[in-house]
Amino acid sequence: MAVQPNFRGSDPADNAAAVTPNDSTDLTNTARALYVGGTGNVKVDTAAGDTVTFSSVPAGAILPVRVKRVYSTGTTATNITSIF
């Protein structure tokens, strides 16, 4: 599956939404980045289709990766926000 190019370049995001991690449902909008409010691991599917776990993400971190799913299994971080 081809990844849509980012035509907005380095423009700031337009929206943000709280994330409820789910093993079977994609985010409503593909995230440009994730904000992690509480320390822990974050398991995601990237926009390109790779599954990866970011380990020991500190509270307050922004993960600058395009994400289409945040898994409940394997995610221990809390207060995650999708930035899109």
List, for residues 16-71, the tens digit of each pLDDT value.
999 999 999 999 999 999 999 999 999 999 999 999 999 999 999 999 999 999 99
Band (pLDDT 50/70/90 cuts) for residue 11 is confident
Distance CA 43, CA 74 (A): 6
Positive or negative, the CA dihedral 60, 11, 5, 68 is: positive
Residue 5 has pLDDT above 90, yes or no: no
The reported pLDDT for the residue numbered 3 is 56
What pTM was estimated for this model as a whole? 0.88
Q: How many CB atoms lie within 10 A of CB 53?
A: 13
Give the CA diameter of the chain.
32
The reported pLDDT for the residue numbered 12 is 87
